[in-house]
Structure 1
């Protein structure tokens, strides 16, 4: 492409590269963070069995354990959803970045005079 280095097209290509590179970085950080959360979950604080005003338990020990397990499963589910969402961000933004960066490189090589 002949003309100025900072043509409107070049500015567009560089802006798309910048934005998609940031998206890839944010997605990669999110994948790592969610992966760590999956491998090393937040410890569950075992609170005492809730009791009503008279001191009798509001639920059985079995129900209480089931509630704790549901909470653990919910945390795991959210961590998996975060991993998948962040992977999607990387897998979508990455190729867009690569495509636009290659366009920039192609245009640079076309405008750079070759010495032989």
Structure 2
């Protein structure tokens, strides 16, 4: 019976260690949905722009060294109303319009949107 106690203690320690590793991975792993973009910046990287973009995938984050930002790529509905707009004949008009706006997920446009809307610093060319 005394030989069983050390094996039980080792088994409990291994189980707690595996549970801690699973919890750590679950907290540091970020899953990116298809309609969102994950921008990771902060630590010096070998990329030319200074940040990494993840679209529809997974990424690990390092809490103290990297900054994580999200950008939504879904369509935004804008309701526009213009009052007292004059026509050619000088007639005041009240105009109501609806616009659907979306950020382009292509490389040059997405990079511009990230630098403008998320305040991610662009690394200047050497």
- The structure carrying a bigger helix percent of its residues is 1
TM-score, normalised relative to structure 2? 0.29
TM-score, normalised relative to structure 1? 0.31
Work out which structure has the larger RCO, using CA pairs closer than 8 Å and 6 or more positions apart in sequence.
1
- The structure carrying a bigger strand percent of its residues is 2
